[in-house]
Amino acid sequence: MSKRTEQVSELLREEINKIIIKDFEPPRNTLISVATVSVSPDLKRATAFLSIIPQNQLGSSLKIMKKFGNYIQRELNKVLYIRQVPKINWAIDERDLRYKEIEEALKE
């Protein structure tokens, strides 16, 4: 990953989290944040990996974020001063799920 893609990735993560905190009303008793953002080498596409707590809300929360994603995309287009703002795709950050599986396996 080049330095430029790393910079854009971190910038997107910060700005998306700001928008979520400011304008998004998550489902009751649910916390949603962007853990990481992966940007394509041509900077045209990005995938935002969501961290969702509690884990039993993964599917419904992802569905809600995909609907809210158009708003986030418009806000990013307003606040970011880069040549082309990447098109954001949404996915679940599965690292937490893997960590939990490993933790449970170690307990046995």
pLDDT in tens, 50-105: 888 887 777 788 888 888 889 999 999 999 888 889 999 998 888 766 666 666 66
pLDDT digits (tens, 9 = 90+) for 12-36: 999 999 999 998 888 788 888 899 9
Question: Whose CA is closest to 16, among 100, 74, 82, 95?
Answer: 74
- Assigned token pair, 19: 């928008």
Give the per-residue SS3 of the chain. CCHHHHHHHHHHHHHHHHHHHHHCCCCCCCEEEEEEEEECCCCCEEEEEEEEECHHHHHHHHHHHHHHHHHHHHHHHHHCCCCCCCEEEEEECCHHHHHHHHHHHHHC
Q: Domains in the chain, please, with CATH?
A: 3-107 (3.30.300.20)
* Per-residue buried b or exposed e for 34-66, using 16+ beta carbons within 10 Å of the residue's own CB: bbbbbbeeebeebbbbbebeeeebbeebeebbe
* Whether residue 38 has pLDDT greater than 90: yes
